Amino acid sequence: MPSQNKTPNISLNQWLGNEYIKRKDFAEDNLKIDEAIHSQGQQIQQVNGSLESHKDDLNSHIKIFTLDRIPVDLSSFPMGSILAIKENLFETSSLDWELGSLNTTTGLPTIDSNRIRTKVFHNILPSKSYKIDFLQSRGLDFMVIVIEYDIEENYLKSSDWQNTDYQFTSLNNTSKIKVIFRTVDDIDVFPEDIISLQPILFRIYEY
């Protein structure tokens, strides 16, 4: 019957009306999400720009702690490294150092009037990077030997004589080290000199 085709479908019209409102709300919600993401992206760009603008300042702060204030070449360190100088693992009192040396094949103390050595073991972590340096050199060139021991203080290995500003990575079973210092010219050096030399041993953190 023709008249039946003209009868409005009330239920369909109500559904379409409700669906339109839902779709409009959905579109508005998506717009809010897009705006929030865009805002966060701008904040990240601002942070990146801020870090870039302060990069020279950060480098200058790092240089403050280098030997005799000589600027360090940051390219010599692994990317993503931080020199944790505030965590100096050396004692600064002369009572923690003594005159003498260490046998580089056994790690045992020896008598030597032109060497100073650590009295005690210094705890470090296995398989980590460390650096030894002086904050002051008094115009003298020093050299260093690092001897590594396991947790039971058994000898593991010894480095050769190295210039200070020496970087090394501990063995995978190293727990302790001892250190010997001497001048390049092998002149007399005493435990009391430690106070003015300010030796530093610090870990290089990687992130």
Residue with tokens 């990077």: 129
Spatial contact of 133 and 181, defined as CB atoms under 8 Å apart: no
Task: Name the range with the highest mean pLDDT among 35-49, 55-69, 81-95, 153-167.
Answer: 153-167
Q: Is pLDDT larger for residue 195 or for residue 52?
A: 195
Residue with tokens 């008598």: 111
Q: Is pLDDT larger for residue 86 or for residue 95?
A: 95
pLDDT at 148: 96
pLDDT class of 65 with cuts at 50, 70, 90: very low
pLDDT at 150: 96
List, in sequence order, every residue forming a beta bridge with 129; answer none if it has no partner. Answer: 169, 204
pLDDT at 4: 54
pLDDT at 17: 58
Prediction pTM value: 0.57
The interaxial angle of helices 55-63 and 10-53, nearest 10 deg, is 40
Stretch 144-158: mean pLDDT, rounded?
Answer: 95
State the Cα–Cα distance between residues 50 and 44, nearest whole angstrom. 10
pLDDT at 90: 78
State the Cα–Cα distance between residues 56 and 51, nearest whole angstrom. 10
State the Cα–Cα distance between residues 126 and 124, nearest whole angstrom. 7
pLDDT class of 178 with cuts at 50, 70, 90: very high
Residue with tokens 């409009």: 24
Q: Is pLDDT larger for residue 41 or for residue 93?
A: 93
In 3D space, the residue among 109, 83, 76 whose CA is nearest the CA of residue 180 turns out to be 109
Other C-beta atoms within 10 Å of 142: how many? 23
Percentage, residues of the chain above pLDDT 90 = 17
Output the six-digit token pair for 66: 């280098």
pLDDT class of 201 with cuts at 50, 70, 90: confident
Q: Is pLDDT larger for residue 96 or for residue 105?
A: 105
Spatial contact of 63 and 72, defined as CB atoms under 8 Å apart: yes
Q: Is pLDDT larger for residue 76 or for residue 195?
A: 195
State the Cα–Cα distance between residues 25 and 83, nearest whole angstrom. 53
Output the six-digit token pair for 89: 């693992």
pLDDT at 192: 80
